[in-house]
Structures are given as structure tokens and as C-alpha cells.
Amino acid sequence: MKIEILYEDENIVAINKPTGLVVHSDGRTNEPTVVDWILENYPEIKYVGENMGGIERPGIVHRLDRDTSGVLIIAKNQESFEHLKEQFKERLVEKKYNAFVYGKLKEKEGIIDRPIGRSASDFRKKSAQRGAKGELREAITEYKVLNENDDVSFLEVKPKTGRTHQIRVHFKAIHHPIVCDSIYAPKGECLLGLNRLALHASSVSLDLIDGNKISIDTPLPEEFENLINNFWGVDKA
């Protein structure tokens, strides 16, 4: 399994997770995971972290959806795990995503502040709309439009909370779902042959154990660059 390492020191390793790769097993399916890569390349991390119902999650302090690509941070020892876990819990980690959404947003910068619960119609889905079931948990997402046309907008997105499917659910709730989202926009066209969810974790900024702040970045996927060039041209991206 070939995975790009973006940053590494004695406490953490940051990777560029490919689209289509699940972070850890759900206990029901047998498929390659990021955890498999961790155990193959860093067997000493095996017992780092916390037990979650018998599912192996060595060094995993946050997740990306299967079809979301981009920066994923892995703790290499327990001290680092606890340090990172606390930052995520206290919302001190800054995460930036890039996304293509359908349509043109009325507000070019904004905050989506909508609690998220379970969808009433599909157990796989979350919802930030009327009729959401179960506990409604606070969820806040900031966004800025970087480029747009009548059909699609290219965004920078900063989730301030870390709910499951948060970005996808929030843009679905304001009627501009993520392009090529098979769960939240199943009838939407995958633009220009795009065959993946148009969501990429482009940057994570956090404090290291030694107190230094670091920003770990990854370039846009090639298919994102192709869309930008096709819609707006190289000089305007």
C-alpha cells in the first residue's frame, strides 16, 4: 500500500490519505485500511491510543471519511496521542478543506451553524435538517468561496467541530451538496468525469509536544486541479 508521508518526527506521522481508503475497520468488512499500513510500517504503534469496542485504531486521533482525501495525523506514542486528543477535544486544531459544491452560493463567506443528528430515512446518513433524529450535537462550519460559476463553486472550508460527515451534511442542508457525493447527492452529476467525492483535507495546524506550532499541508489532488483549470483557467485558480 503506497501512502505519501507529509511530515514525520519522533511523536507523529502525517500522511496524505488517498480517496477510497477507509481509516480503520468497522468490524463487519474485510478491506485494506490505513490501520493496516500503520501496523505494517510502524508495528511499535500497535498499542498506542485507546480501545474502541475491540476495533484496532493504533495512533488514530481523528478520522477522514473513506472518500475524503488529505491530511491525517497519527500519534506514534501514548504521550503524543493524549496531547493530540486534548487539542482536538478543545477545538485547538485548525483544519482546512477544499471542496466543490453544486451551484452558486448566495453568501461568498459564511458560517453554517446547524446541529447534526441522525437521518430519519437512512441509517448511513446524518442530518442537519428538520426531522433529524436522536441527540442533536452542535456543529459549526466556516466557508469561503474561492471560485464559482452557475454550476459549481470551489470552496475553502474550516470545520470548527468534528461531527461525522459534518461538511457533507452541512452543505446538503443549505442545498449545495458536495459534488459527486453518492450518499448526500446521489442524483448529482460527477462533473467532467470526476469519479470521487470532491472533498479534500488540505491542511491541519496543531501544537507539537515541544510547544511549536506546525501546519501540515498537502497539494490539491490532480483531479481537483483539472476541474479548476477546466472551469476557470490556470491563471484564475
Q: Please give the positions annotated as active site.
A: 65
Residues 6+ apart with CB under 8 A from 138: 115, 161
The beta strand positions in the chain, using DSSP E, are 4-8, 12-17, 69-75, 94-102, 109-113, 116-118, 126-127, 133-137, 140-148, 152-159, 199-207, 213-217
Residue 132: its H or E element: none
Nearest to 112 by CA among 152, 68, 169: 169
Q: How far apart are CA 129 and CA 141, in angstroms?
A: 15
Q: How far apart are CA 65 and CA 111, in angstroms?
A: 22
